[in-house]
Amino acid sequence: MTNIFVQVENFEKKKYYELAPKWRYRYTSDLSETVKIFSGQKAAQNNNWKLKGALKKKIEENLKHVIIFRVVDFFNRINLIYGTVCEYCTKESCPTMSGGPKFEYLWADGKEYKKPTALPAPEYISLLMEWIESQINDEHVFPVTVDVPFPKTFHSLCKKILTRLFRVFVHVYIHHFDRVVAIGAEAHVNTCYKHFYYFILQFELVPQKELEPLRDMTAKICHEVPDSVFQNHNHQK
For the segment 24-33, what is each residue's pLDDT rounded down to a tens digit? 332 222 323 3
pLDDT band, residue 4 (cuts 50/70/90):
very low
First to last CA, the chain: 34
In degrees and rounded to multiples of 5, residue 90 shows phi and psi of -120, 170
Least-confidence region, from 26-40, 76-90, 171-185: 26-40
Alpha carbon distances (Å) from 170 to 104, 135, 174, 206: 11, 22, 6, 13
Domain residue ranges of the chain, discontinuous segments joined by +: 5-235
Mean pLDDT score, 153-169? 97
pLDDT band, residue 56 (cuts 50/70/90):
low
Q: What is the pLDDT of residue 53?
A: 52
In degrees and rounded to multiples of 5, residue 85 shows phi and psi of -120, -5
Rg value, the chain, Cα: 19
Which tops the pLDDT comparison, 20 or 131? 131
pLDDT at 225 over 60: no
86 is in an annotated binding site: no
Kindly report, residue by residue over 110-155, the tens digit of the pLDDT: 999 999 999 999 999 999 999 999 999 998 899 877 778 889 999 9
Question: What is the phi-psi region of residue 100: left when phi exceeds 0, alpha when psi lies from -120 to 50, beta otherwise?
Answer: left
Find, among 220, 145, 201, the residue nearest to 33 by Cα.
201
| Architecture of the 5-235 domain | Up-down Bundle (1.20)
Contact indicator for 39, 22 with CB cutoff of 8 Å? yes
Mean pLDDT score, 201-212? 94
65 is in an annotated binding site: no
Which tops the pLDDT comparison, 46 or 58? 58
% of the chain surpassing 90 pLDDT: 59
222 is in an annotated binding site: no
Which tops the pLDDT comparison, 58 or 78? 78
